[in-house]
Amino acid sequence: MNEPVNAAVVGVGSMGRHHARVYSELPNVKLVGIHDVDESQAAEAARDHGTRAVDMETAIDEADVISIAVPTPYHYETARKCIEGGVHVLVEKPFVADVEEGRDLLARAEEAGVTVQVGHIERFNPAIRTLSEIVSDLDIIAIDAQRLGPPPAGRAVDVSAVMDLMIHDLDVLLSIVGDDIDSVAAVGTRDNRYASASIKFGGGIVAGLTASRVTQEKVRKLSITAENCRVNVDYTNQSVEIHRHSMPEYIEDNGDLRYRHESIVERPTVENGEPLKNELRSFVQSATSGSTPVVTGEDGLRVLEIARKIDDLASDMRETEVRLG
């Protein structure tokens, strides 16, 4: 890229401010404006990141790429305006409030020839990038994911733990397992601030996911049970461990018989890096080159459909199963 790519951010709540910061730090990218319905908030963010607060029309006129970080009910209308203006968009997760709105956006984007990427940031976590390099060599049996923690300080969360947290793990899960989903079961409590789901794929892989906004410990982990190993991923520490050849044995210690397991633990190299910076760098590259985004709009819609189904099942306060055709 010889000429800098002009970027703008629409919506500067907690996540949008980070988008503005990262754009201001990326080489060959110029942050040309920030828009928010709260003009004072837009002005403050603009001062912090060396740009200016602008109206929506100016953002669309001047930007090549725009991050949309407004509340989900406004994703469709905001993205539609950008697409109609010929601007490439990264829409924060969940992609849209309604699946049909998402399909309409993708049809409009295809006609306009613009890129749509959905902000499922965990795909750009260095640990998940490392996992993606080894997962094709695994004969996967089961996948388990936990995303737990207390309510975030200073940020109101008006959606369930499924839509706020589990949706991340669903996206990673679907990127790992290429099979169609056979069935889904779910249960939840405390207005789905705690929810668990079980998914069975057509190829036989099973997955268990738990999300919580009422757990007084922050946990962000994923584990894969494979035929010959177990792979543990810690999103927070950005680490991957592969446990192989677990060997149970009994040993005698001063006349006492003890039981132990020994295994070989491999720790693949995980490159350091901020997931959001990786995400926006990848988005800019896709937008300028015309390549397919890592997380497409279609990916975002599929995850949204499954998350909605899990949320509905969990809301029933009883374990239920449905078939997905």
Q: What pLDDT sits at residue 156? A: 62
pTM: 0.89
Rounded Cα–Cα distance for residues 135 and 110 (Å): 31
Rounded Cα–Cα distance for residues 101 and 301 (Å): 10
Q: What pLDDT sits at residue 239? A: 97
Residue 10 is encoded by which pair of tokens? 């629409």
Rounded Cα–Cα distance for residues 109 and 80 (Å): 9
DSSP annotation string for 220-284:
EEEEEEESSEEEEEETTTTEEEEEEEEEEEEEEETTEEEEEEEEEEE--------HHHHHHHHHH
pLDDT in tens, 42-64: 999 999 999 999 999 999 999 99
Dihedral sign, Cα of residue 215, residue 217, residue 223, residue 229: negative
> Region 228-241: what's the mean pLDDT?
96
Task: Tell me what percent of the residues of the chain surpass a pLDDT of 90.
Answer: 86
Residue 272: pLDDT band with limits 50, 70, 90:
confident
Q: What pLDDT sits at residue 248? A: 62
pLDDT in tens, 130-174: 999 999 999 999 999 999 999 877 666 678 999 999 999 999 999
- Residue 267 burial (10 A CB sphere; 0-12, 13-18, 19+): exposed
Q: What pLDDT sits at residue 317? A: 53
Higher-scoring residue by pLDDT: 236, 318: 236
Q: What average pLDDT does the chain have?
A: 92
